[in-house]
Structure 1
Amino acid sequence: MLPTFNIVGDIVVVEHVSRHYRKLDLGDVVVCVSPTDPQKAICKRVLGLPGDYVCVDPTLLERRYITVPPGHIWLQGDNYTNSTDSRKYGPVSLGLLRGRVLCKIWPKFEWIRNGFEEQVSQSSMDRELVVER
């Protein structure tokens, strides 16, 4: 999840309750049991929700798309060129979800932001600036 998190040493707060009450949003950072090694946890960003149509790997010339099945999510790491994620192991069962990352508390406190919300806000602001001119 570089650059959001360091390779080792970061301590994060994971909120386990709202996954049962609040829906996941695109861009949320979550912790799941690894689909390939149940002894490990993974930390990835949600890029597809059930029913979403996602491109498996947009860097390939021949693009392949998949519809995220019910009860699953599509996860990808922020370090796109060096991340083992849904591009390798496919959609991840919601049963493996353990919680949403709220903030990093070590080595420096930082709220974990939903990157998609920031992009939407920025593009909305850009549109407003264009309209005002």
Structure 2
Amino acid sequence: MAQSQGWLRRYFKALCKGFFVAVPVAVTFLDRVACVARVEGSSMQPSLNPGGSQSSDVVLLNHWKVRNFEVQRGDIVSLVSPKNPEQKIIKRVIALEGDIIRTIGHKNRLVKVPRGHIWVEGDHHGHSFDSNSFGPVSLGLLHAHATHILWPPERWQRLESVLPPERFPIHSREE
């Protein structure tokens, strides 16, 4: 009887130690390296949620890739909404700091993206709450870079950083 209680006690201690190591490691990984998120809405159609309201894509969000605020035109990123800090939105990077972009419905027809900012838009124009509504977005609001669709299984794929030809900046900082 005493031996079985000793074994049970050792097992419980090992379980507790494992738990108190695994939980902080998992939380740190999800906060700093990568996590998954369900994409809602139609603003990124057809790239994400092509089935409309019947389906929601689940994407892998890579925090590590945006830790130095290094994004490229065409990247799909998650960011804190400039209008509602409780909400995260997912959009495509259209222009980087220094670029001049022709807007779609913004109060100014042409916008030069200020230093430390990016211009983001949803792929489904007219159904997207994006920079055309709230202007350039501070790089400090970047949350993660969406790299893969994980669910549904028939849509498993890497998300490519592709900029629609009609959305290239009029003048980019590389020119």
Could you say which TM-score interval applies, normalised by the shorter chain? 0.7 to 0.9
Partner of 2:103: 56
Partner of 1:115: 162
Q: How many Å separate the matches in 2 of 1:18 and 1:77?
A: 20
1:81 is displaced (CA, Å) by: 2.4
**Secondary structure in 2 aligned to 1:18?**
helix
| Equivalent pairs, count | 116
When the two chains are superposed, the root-mean-square deviation of aligned CA atoms in Å is 2.2
Q: How many Å separate the matches in 2 of 1:84 and 1:23?
A: 23
1:21 is displaced (CA, Å) by: 4.3
Unpaired runs of at least 5, structure 2: 1-43, 166-175
Q: How many Å separate the matches in 1 of 2:139 and 2:68?
A: 14
In the alignment, which of 29, 46, 61 is matched to residue 76 of structure 2? 29
Max radius of gyration: which structure?
2
Unpaired runs of at least 5, structure 1: 120-133
In the alignment, which of 69, 88, 94 is matched to residue 133 of structure 2? 88
Q: Between the two proteins, what is the percent identity of the paired residues? A: 36
Partner of 1:14: 61
Q: How many Å separate the matches in 1 of 2:88 and 2:103?
A: 22
Tell me: CA distance 1:67–1:22, structure 2 relative to 1, closer, same or farther (3 Å).
Answer: closer
Please give the TM-score of this superposition, normalised by the length of structure 1: 0.79
Whose strand fraction is larger, Structure 1's or Structure 2's? 1
Please give the TM-score of this superposition, normalised by the length of structure 2: 0.61
Whose helix fraction is larger, Structure 1's or Structure 2's? 2
1:110 is displaced (CA, Å) by: 1.4
What is the letter of the counterpart of residue 13 of structure 1? L
1:5 aligns with 2:52: no
Q: How far does the alpha carbon of each residue in 1:2-27 deviate from its partner, in whole angstroms, 9 at most, with x for none? A: 11111552110011112134721100
Q: How many Å separate the matches in 2 of 1:56 and 1:23?
A: 23
Q: Structure 1 residue runs of 4+, over 4 Å off?
A: none
